[in-house]
Amino acid sequence: MLIDVHAHFHTNLSPRADWQAVNARRLAIGQRIGITAHVASILGSWGARSPIYFPSKEDVEHANDAMLALCRAHPKLVYGYCVVNPNETEHALHEIDRRVAAGMIGVKLAASRRANDPLLDPIAALAGGRGVPILHHIWQHRRREWPGQEASDAFELCELAARHPATRFILAHLGGGGDWEHTLRVVPDVANVWVDLSGSGLDNGMLEAALEAVGPRRLLWGADITLDTGLAKLRYLESLGLPADDLAAIRATNAQAIFPEGCFR
Amino acid sequence: MIVDVATFVGAYPFRVLPGATPDALVGQMDRLGIDAAWVGDLGAPWHRDPRAANRNLDVLVAPHAPRLIPIPTVHPGLPAWEEDLQAAADAGAPGVRTYPMQQVVDPAGTAVQGLVQAAAALQLAVVLTVRFEDLRQRHPLDSVPDLPASAVRALARCDAGARLVVTHANRDFIEEVHFGLTPDEFRRVLWDISWVWGPPDDDLATLLGTVGEERFALGTGMPLRIGDGAFAKLDLLEGSEGRLDRLTGGNLRGWLK
């Protein structure tokens, strides 16, 4: 079993005309790689009507509708995160409520509000109460503001995680750009944060350092935008001579443990 | 024969890289099935004078000849850089590396053009590196911008015999250079695939169709990056065994003739 905990799909609102082909390609390439579950989100209208990381309420609803449609079109293969913008707090809580009830298995927080902001507390509490993890977009060591997003780094996510010990958090794309060494200094003692290995970054030493920092039971395999780099990291992990249980944990069993019980059957 | 045109050994200034020794590089090559590699010294781009690093590189890789092929660094802003170039030719190197951004030399200026022209006269390729790390993760003191695409265009145009191997470029960069050159010019530029994305966006497949399959060679970027990246995207490509042979060595061999 191989679970991609960080996948994305597009919709007819996405700015790219080939959105259907890209979605189909993700599934086709996923099959070649051996992905048995794509846990995915759609980031609003991908910038077409509202910014990718600051989606409007309308784009949030459109994205979650489309994500659920994909889940229904590909049962037992595609699973959904509920995307929300915490600045629209009541709307976000309502979305999580109804989308989890409809079958979504996680919450996706991107970069609309800093992770340690109190505005995220009710969202984190609700996700914990519903038993679904939060995948949080992270900029590995954010030294400054970057345009287009109110990005958070590991420090900020871990502050939120410390306030919500019963909620499970996934720190997004360790390989997604930024200083992953900084992140790996922050996360070891925060037991309710798992690290997803996705992203286009293929830095030599990153996977070994992640294993050393948090161990194989808190690492999650994922691809994010680039499936080829996901495959590369998977192959490299396989070359490290890890015990079979540890490799299986990174591939799937860790994810099975933090998402709602039995959802990947 | 599978040849990797983008590998290094030696100390990187901004972090300790596992596997930066020749033995470790050969170990990774064995694991990945790479027969030979063009190898640069990873510290040389930041040295005031790369000559000592070149000598050290020769010593380091000699036990692994002919699999590890040293590609010395030339700093065209230094006096007597022509001697370093000639030494590379005398040693039988297929090319030399130069790093105008790290050496703080105008990347399209007369010094680098002079190097490209002199290398052309000796039938040596010039290896250019667009970047070493993603801009978002660099050390605060590593404020060197990426090599600009405009410089590669200027260098490709500066001599009818100029031959450039450009490593660590992404799709946008490659397109901006390729479609800004004449067919005679772009045939003298070879790209490595290490920073080109694969599926689902399929930048590599797109470039093979638009820029041309014959314009690409295998590059892994080891030990900065894990070598599996290049092979994963090749394995996910549609195409024949012959295509893979060309991309992993055949194109390079044909281009060097």
3-state secondary structure A154-220: HHHHHHHHHHCCCCCEEECCCCCCECHHHHHHHCCCCCCEEEECCCCCCECCHHHHHHHHHCHHHEE
Q: Smallest Cβ distance to B223: which of A33, A204, A228? A: A204
Mean pLDDT, range B90-106, rounded to an integer: 98
- Secondary structure class of B138 (helix, strand, coil): coil
Asked whether A141 and A174 are in contact (CB, 8 A), the reply is no
One-letter amino acid of B160: A
Using the Cβ of B209 and the Cβ atoms of chain A, whether some distance falls under 8 Å is answered with: no
* pLDDT above 90 for A130: yes
A265 has pLDDT over 90:
no
State the Cα–Cα distance between residues B113 and B164, nearest whole angstrom: 12
Mean pLDDT across chain B, nearest whole number? 97
To test the contact with chain B by mutation, choose from A8, A9, A204 the residue with the greatest count of B C-beta atoms within 10 A, namely A204
Give the CATH superfamily of B3-256: Metal-dependent hydrolases (3.20.20.140)
* B232 contacts A205? CB cut-off 8 A: no
Confidence bin at A228 (pLDDT 50/70/90): very high
Distance (Å, whole) CA B192 – CA B168: 7
Mean pLDDT computed over A79-96: 98
What percentage of chain B exceeds 90 in pLDDT? 96
Is a pLDDT exceeding 90 seen at residue B205?
A: yes
Helix (H) or strand (E) holding A4: strand A3-8
Is-contact B252 B215, C-beta < 8 A?
no
- CB count, 10 Å around CB of B182? 9
Between positions 62 and 91 of B, the ones with CB within 8 A of A are none
Alpha helix ranges (H) inside B95-138: 100-103, 110-121
**How many residues are recorded in chain A?**
265
Query: Which two tokens mark B241?
Result: 């065994």
**Chain A residues touching B6 at Cβ < 8 A:** none
Nearest to B121 by CA among B152, B89, B98: B89
> Nearest to residue B41, comparing CAs of B58, B63, B57, B28?
B57
Question: Would you state the structure tokens that stand for residue B237, as one six-digit string?
Answer: 């490509």
Q: In angstroms, rounded to a whole number, what is the distance separating the alpha carbons of residues A226 and A213? A: 25
- Cα(B41)–Cα(B219) distance, rounded to whole angstroms? 16
ipTM of the complex in this document: 0.96
Q: Does B238 have pLDDT greater than 90? A: no
How far is B103 from chain A, CA to nearest CA, in Å? 24
Q: Which of B15, B137, B197 sits opposite A177 (nearest CB)?
A: B137
Per residue in A70-86, pLDDT tens? 999 999 999 999 999 99
* Binding-face residues of A in 34-93 toward B, CB within 8 A: none
Residue B50: φ, ψ to 5°: -80, 0
The total number of residues written for chain B in this structure: 257
The Cα B48–Cα B63 span in angstroms is 27
How far is C-alpha B22 from the chain's CA centre? 17
The reply to whether B33 touches chain A by the CB within 8 Å rule is no
Say how far apart CA B187 and CA B180 lie, in whole Å: 12
DSSP state for residue B95 in the 8-state scheme: E
Domain boundaries, chain B: 3-256
pLDDT of residue A126: 98
Cβ(B57)–Cβ(B87) below 8 Å: no
Of the candidates B197, B200, B221, which has its C-beta nearest A25's C-beta?
A: B200
- pLDDT score, position B11: 96
- Is A261's pLDDT higher than 80? yes
A227 and B200 within 8 Å at the Cβ level: the answer is yes
Distance CA B69, CA B81 (A): 21
Interatomic CA distance for residues A210 and A187, integer angstroms: 10
Split at pLDDT 50, 70, 90, the class of B240 is confident
The number of C-beta contacts closer than 8 angstroms across A and B is 92
Q: Give the three-class secondary structure for B245.
A: helix
Average model confidence (pLDDT) across chain A: 97
- Rounded distance, CA A116 to CA B103, Å? 42
Q: What is the enclosing helix (H) or strand (E) of A79?
A: strand A78-83
Mean pLDDT of A118-133: 98
pLDDT digit string (tens) for B113-129?
Answer: 999 999 999 999 999 99
What's the pLDDT tens digit per position in A55-70? 999 999 999 999 999 9
Question: Residues 118..147 of A with a Cβ closer than 8 Å to B: which?
Answer: 139-141, 143
**Cβ of A196: how many Cβ atoms within 10 Å?**
26
DSSP 8-state assignment for residue B144: P
Chain B closest-CA separation from residue A231 CA (Å): 6
Q: How far apart are CA B72 and CA B131, in angstroms?
A: 18
Ranges assigned E (strand) in chain B: 3-9, 36-41, 68-70, 95-97, 125-129, 164-167, 189-192, 216-217
pLDDT at B239 over 90: no
